[in-house]
Amino acid sequence: MVPARGKYDSLLVTHLPNVRYLTGYKGSSGCALITPRRRYFFTDFRYREQARREVRDFDVRITPGPALDGCCRYISARRLKTGTIGYDGAHLTLRQHQLMKKLLKGMSFADAAGAVEKMREVKTRSEILKMRRACMIADAAYKRLVRSRVVGRTEKEVAWRLESAMRNHGSGPMPFEIIVVSGPRSAMPHGAAGERVIREGELVVIDMGASVDGYCSDVTRTFATGPLPSKLAEIYRTVQEAQHRAFEGTIAGAAAAGVDALARDYIDAAGYGAAFGHSLGHGVGLEGHEGPVLSRGSKAVLEPGMVVTVEPGIYLEGLGGVRIEDTVLVTAGGPEALTKFPRALHELA
Ligand code: ZN
Ligand code: ZN
């Protein structure tokens, strides 16, 4: 597992999900250096034990200060033959960048942003297994939710119940704060769960994910609390059909932009194009949001083993919104939704 070398000879990896992917390290401070000859992992004293247990196939070095400082000092003190060093350009802070140039004066650098992210897009069998479990846990929480009462509870209470259900089913930390938005607030695609009390006859959008050994799921369902005004029922049907069309098109070899268009064109034709203001989906894995992007401008082409979301939505300010999202595995034989909770409109009590 060595990222393709192009403009660089060595790779300095600082973004933690990338470090974890390459080395197995799950801690919160560390960096990896892959030179043409050797592979090093740097962390500080606090993570010494953990690194020795988790890190595979890398020389573990314990540094007196921050890992990146230590790594740069190690390179210069040992005069490592690194050639041009590629760095995680999308994630380095300005301070880290300046420090690197200062400690490694005279060496040549290249921006290697996206090199490891690209490798992460296609999942291995064991990664897919973890994601399957993360999806099952989210499904189980929805099943529990539909047996309980939400009318009269606040959005925050519902979010907490879902989080505890997922934790009880074995989820690790939530990949992102659970979204529960109700009534007119459901028109905010990324609104946070608030103090609003859920009432009868409105929409509730719930977007959540579980994690298993660091691998995430991401699933949105929109529920009704009793009979809906006809406009809201209509946008639900439109989103459900758009999501179904895009899901069917999530196949190996398809252009991500084309999959986005399957949902977008349908929503446009129904007259709600302007109310679907975000992209269709994104990759999921060690991060809740990663490559590839499924959007109008995306250059990505889907490959077997990619796990992406398909999540069209319609949001009508002042009225409410609908989004339906699944985590979908692209296989040679077609798409498989890893999140399986039914997509038909479900009424919550
Ligand atoms: Zn989501
Ligand atoms: Zn998503």
- Structural domains in the chain, CATH included, are 10-120 (3.40.350.10), 125-337 (3.90.230.10)
- Are 250 and 328 in contact, with CB atoms under 8 Å apart? yes
CA of 45 to the centre of ligand 1 (A): 37
The partner residues of 293 in beta bridges, in order of sequence, read: 282
Is the Cβ–Cβ distance between 239 and 247 less than 8 Å? no
Ligand 1 mean position to 103 CA, how many Å?
41
Measured in Å, residue 309 CA sits from the centre of ligand 2 at 6
Distance (Å) from CA 270 to ligand 2 centroid = 23
Q: Please give the full DSSP string across 288-313, using - where no structure is assigned.
A: SSEEEEESTT---B--TTBEEEE--E
How many C-beta atoms surround the C-beta of residue 4 within 10 A?
9
Dihedral of CA 338/339/341/342: which sign? Answer: negative
- CA quadruple 58, 59, 60, 62: dihedral sign: negative
Tokens 């769960």 identify what position?
Answer: 193
pTM for the model stands at 0.94
**Cα(33) to centroid(ligand 1), Å:** 33
CB within 8 Å of 227: residues ≥ 6 apart: 201
DSSP state letter for 197: B
| Amino acid 220: pLDDT | 98
Task: Compute, in angstroms, the gap from residue 311 CA to the centroid of ligand 2.
Answer: 7
Distance 178 CA to ligand 1 centre (A): 9
User: How far is the C-alpha of 233 from the C-alpha of 240, rounded, in Å?
Assistant: 11
Q: Virtual CA dihedral for 109, 110, 111, 114, nearest 10 degrees?
A: -120
Report the pLDDT value the prediction gives residue 3, as an integer from 0 to 100.
Answer: 65
Beta pairing class for 219-224 and 346-347: parallel
Distance in Å, CA 191 to ligand 2 centroid: 13
Surrounding ion ligand 1 within 5 Å at CB are 207, 218, 220, 325
Q: Work out whether strand 85-87 and strand 109-111 pair parallel, antiparallel, or are unpaired.
A: parallel
- Over residues 100-122, the pLDDT tens digits come to 999 999 999 999 999 999 999 99
pLDDT, position 1: 54
- Helix (H, G, I), strand (E, B), or coil: what is residue 87? strand
Rounded distance from Cα 209 to ligand 2 centre (Å): 9
DSSP, collapsed to helix, strand or coil, labels residue 9 as coil
Contact assessment for residue 262 and residue 249, using Cβ atoms and an 8 Å cutoff: yes
Ligand nearest to the CA of 205: 1
Q: Ligand 2 centre and the CA of 76: distance in Å?
A: 42
How far is Cα 98 from Cα 93, in angstroms, rounded to an integer? 9
Q: CA–CA distance from 340 to each of 42, 222, 223 (Å)?
A: 41, 14, 15
Q: How far is CA 337 from CA 2, 57, 89, in A?
A: 30, 34, 33
Cα of 137 vs centre of ligand 1, distance in Å, is: 15
The DSSP result for 239-296, as a single string, is HHHHHHHHHHT--TT-BHHHHHHHHHHHHHHTT-GGG--S-SEEE-SSSSSEEEEEST
Using a CB cutoff of 5 Å, list residues around ligand 2, an ion: 218, 309
24 contacts 56 by C-beta, under 8 angstroms:
yes
Identify the nearest ligand to the CA of 221 by its number: 1
Residue 59 and residue 39 in contact, taking contact as beta carbons nearer than 8 Å = yes
Q: Is 47 left (phi over 0), alpha (psi -120 to 50) or beta?
A: alpha
How many whole angstroms from 314 Cα to the centroid of ligand 2? 15
Which amino acid, one-letter code, is at 295?
A: S
Q: Which ligand is nearest to the CA of 208?
A: 1
Per-residue pLDDT, 6: 74
Could you tell me the distance, in angstroms and rounded to a whole number, from the CA of residue 300 to the centre of ligand 1?
A: 20
**What residue ranges of the chain have pLDDT lower than 70?**
1-5
Work out the widest C-alpha separation in the chain, in whole angstroms: 71
